[in-house]
Structure 1
Amino acid sequence: MDSGDIRVPAGNKRIAIYSHTHPSLTSGGAEISAYNLFRGLRALGWDAILIAACDESLRDKIDLGPNEFALPVRGGIYDHFYHISSVEVRRSLVRLLQEQNVTLFNAHHFLHIGIGAFSDIVSAGIDVVFTMHEFLAICHNHGQLVTRPGQTLCHGPSPSACQRCYPEHSRQQFAVRQSQFAAALDQVSAFIAPSQFLADKMVEQGVVAARVSIIENGVPHPARPPSSRHSRDNWRFGYFGQINPFKGVGVLLDACAVLARRPDLAARIRIAIHGNFIGQPAAFIDRFNAAVEEYPFLTYLGAYDNQNVASLMAACDYVVMPSTWWENSPVVIQEALGARRPVICTGIGGMAEKIIDGETGLHFARNDPADLADRIAQAADEALLAKLQSALPTPPTPIEMAERYAAVFDQVAKTTA
């Protein structure tokens, strides 16, 4: 386990923020949010450390800073159905928490440590606060609440419904999974959800509403607010994030095919995709590369350093988020608001909660590339852009987010004292 210069002021409570990976390895929303919170707490004077799971094969690639630790894990022996980790990983985690005199453990995921780790941590006399970023606790399909193979939105799981999605598992197995998660979550002192939508879904599935606080994801604000672009020879639309089907990249590619049939519009737009491929099949990557080759207005600009996201978004007129699952409170949306760029997004779930159609962005119908193409055409309008930008809310900073978390941590400490 690696650490930086750890300082433990006398009498100060020590908080551990757990992330299922480190931002130096991947740039998903959960790990970025956890890291921003860690830095925000440190800026407020809280004695916080970051613990990031790291597969043993990636130990030479992780870039740890002061007060940051890597928890070695082995993905090959992790049970992704019941979410059970090895005893060795769970013991290593508890030992690290005890060595560092941690009094509260804020998990931004249970991936790699397993859901049973919550009980281990509580048994060691350490409070657990769980920040929920998706629905993996109630949905085996990557926590998306989307059915297989039909890819329709799921409004609530059950052993029978889940077994229809995954016929290789029995209803009994899903019932056991549900029971184990319920028992583990009962160990949690407080829950945090970055959106009301996510909180409501989890309360429907048994999480006690009184234990849930809504705290929006905080993002760093640019030193200077990005200015609007002056030239409108081309309207620029940017996609930011992981490149995979459930983030709606396939929908965006299909929308490009629709736009290509409108040559006057295609000549006035540019669509830039920023992100990386993680674990995608060759067929999807081939399809992606073929679209970039076919459509002159579509460009792939590769992976990006999240520290540069504000300037990259400032080079666009709009940020496009075509996800096909509910989402929660996408960090990309928060980053777009910080960069003062309206968002064109799927009008469902956490996206619809964060972006108001016609006021702070535009909605399109889920899985409907023609409707997305229509919204892109609609967006290429000076008056509309000015209207949307003037109404954009300001997202919280990491310090403002940390202040709200600190209030929850204080309440937990008082309740369990």
Structure 2
Amino acid sequence: MSAPRLLAINNYFYRRGGAEAVFLDQMRMFSEIGWDVVPFAMQHPENDNSAYARYFVSEIEYGRESGPLTKAAQAAKIIYSFEARRKLKALIESAPPALAHAHNVYHHISPSIFDTLKRAGVPTVMTAHDLKLACPAYKMLSHDGVCERCKGGRVHNVLVNRCIKGSVALSGLVMVETMTHRALGLYRDKVDRVVAPSRFYREKLAEWGWDPARIAYVPNFVDAAAMRSDWDEGDHFVFAGRLGHEKGLSTLVRAAAMSGERVMIAGTGPEEAALKRLAAELDAPVTFLGYVSGQPLLQLIGESRALVLPSEWYENAPMSVLEAYGLGTPILGARIGGIPELVREGETGLLARSGDVEDLAGAMSRMAALRSGERRRMGAAGREWVLADFSQNAHRDRLLALYRDLGVAA
């Protein structure tokens, strides 16, 4: 009996962000157990090598300067890519898959491919890395905070509130995109199962009209067994990630000033200059380290009192939480989105109300007041939890069960 063939789909075919890491790690995971894994992505100079690259769709990079005709063509591809349909059809004919697993496809490949997969009789799964399947602007976040104004089909609100970069043109385009995709049923009628990495996302999608029976909870994973956890603890808390307004970093800076606790911020982003000004104004004990990755980042987190996630939007299932646990570091998280389900309060970390400076400052003070050994025990409990429930084997077994549900067995 030949090995099953998995068609793995994502806009990018290199480690660009969290979604790409999950996509590539899943490909590797199934290759290791003998599956024939075939990628379908967008052409890009940073892509990994693939024998199937000739089937990839043409590159689109929206940040680049281009003329009006190019912009018009790109806008049409955002809504519906005929090229992606054509190339995917050719790939399916060349290497017929037993099942397709898609990740991020909107704006580049486009969901036009789901109609092609349906017509070819290929069972299709899609991982919801964000809330795009419900919210036209991905995050259920507007300029005034968490936003669910588009619920119940009221997608005109994405234009009314200029949710995409404050732009009428971009917000209008995304409104048309959403209306078109829904009218054609490209997600609801063509995708067989949606994978939610957090219980929160599963429940939120169900609230917005998705059939709960079609949403499978499959949490992310890390290889905690390969991670060092015997760090010498320092006197700092750490935030690591993009410095965007949704991350709650102004709340963290204010909480650091109020509590007097030292915070190291690793990352760059649009809020960096404003956060530095705020820290200077408040004389907050906050150090901005810029972009940090690899071993220096692991050491920074491993030696911290806790990793802080002060988010003010509906986080999904942050990989940073699992990675911190793998390093033996506890979590100090905001009580929002999928974060609370990844923190056993008092056992693996502490929680604070999202956007509440006083509550976060209090939680930081309580964490700092613990003996070092108590914090290390919290981190060790998190590590044991990850080893048991968020391992590669557990993740693969959950996906295999889902695939069997759709009639595909190894």
Fold match by TM threshold 0.5: yes
Q: Is the 1:84–1:113 Cα contact (8 Å) retained in structure 2?
A: no
Superposition TM-score, scaled by structure 1 size: 0.79
The answer to whether structure 1 residue 89 and structure 2 residue 84 are counterparts is yes
Give the equivalent residue in structure 2 for 1:286.
273
Give the equivalent residue in structure 2 for 1:36.
25
The alignment-based identity, stated in percent, is: 22
Q: Counterparts in 2 of 1:93-172, with a 5 A limit?
A: 93-111=88-106, 112-141=108-137, 143-146=138-141, 148-154=142-148, 157-160=151-154, 162-164=155-157, 166-167=159-160
Deviation sequence 1:102-129 (CA, Å, 0-9, x none): 3321011222211222112222332211
Q: 2:375 aligns with which of 363, 385, 406?
A: 385
Q: CA RMSD in A?
A: 3.2
Unpaired segments ≥5 residues, structure 2: 63-72, 161-167
Give the equivalent residue in structure 2 for 1:179.
182
Q: Whole-Å Cα distance in 2 between the matches of residues 107 and 307 of structure 1? A: 31
The answer to whether structure 1 residue 272 and structure 2 residue 264 are counterparts is yes
The code of the aligned residue for 1:285 comes to E
Once the two structures are TM-superposed, the CA of residue 344 in structure 1 deviates from its matched residue by 1.0
Say which is worse superposed, 294-303 or 314-323, in terms of deviation: 294-303
1:394 is paired with a residue of what secondary structure? Answer: helix
Q: 1:190 aligns with which of 188, 193, 197?
A: 193
1:120 is paired with a residue of what secondary structure? Answer: helix
Q: Is the 1:222–1:310 Cα contact (8 Å) retained in structure 2?
A: no
Q: Is the 2:335–2:352 Cα contact (8 Å) retained in structure 1?
A: yes
Q: 1:394 aligns with which of 376, 386, 391?
A: 386
Give the equivalent residue in structure 1 for 2:215.
212
2:320 is paired with a residue of what secondary structure? Answer: helix
Once the two structures are TM-superposed, the CA of residue 180 in structure 1 deviates from its matched residue by 3.2
The code of the aligned residue for 1:389 comes to G
Q: 1:15 to 1:308 in 2, by over 3 A?
A: farther
Q: Counterparts in 2 of 1:290-309, with a 5 A limit?
A: 290=277, 297-305=285-293
Q: Is the 2:114–2:186 Cα contact (8 Å) retained in structure 1?
A: no
Unpaired segments ≥5 residues, structure 1: 1-9, 260-264
Q: Is the 1:163–1:174 Cα contact (8 Å) retained in structure 2?
A: no
1:329 is paired with a residue of what secondary structure? Answer: coil
Give the equivalent residue in structure 2 for 1:249.
249
Say which is worse superposed, 349-358 or 288-297, in terms of deviation: 288-297
2:42 is paired with a residue of what secondary structure? Answer: strand
The code of the aligned residue for 1:72 comes to S
Q: Whole-Å Cα distance in 2 between the matches of residues 48 and 150 of structure 1? A: 43
The code of the aligned residue for 2:129 comes to H
Q: Whole-Å Cα distance in 2 between the matches of residues 97 and 332 of structure 1? A: 36
Q: 1:64 aligns with which of 45, 48, 53?
A: 48
Q: 1:197 to 1:78 in 2, by over 3 A?
A: farther
Q: 1:307 to 1:411 in 2, by over 3 A?
A: farther
Q: 1:150 to 1:40 in 2, by over 3 A?
A: same
The answer to whether structure 1 residue 12 and structure 2 residue 3 are counterparts is yes
2:406 is paired with a residue of what secondary structure? Answer: helix
Deviation sequence 1:132-184 (CA, Å, 0-9, x none): 1221111122x2223x3321353871344x434531659x9698357337453
Q: Whole-Å Cα distance in 1 between the matches of residues 361 and 338 of structure 2? A: 22
The code of the aligned residue for 2:244 comes to N
Once the two structures are TM-superposed, the CA of residue 321 in structure 1 deviates from its matched residue by 1.0
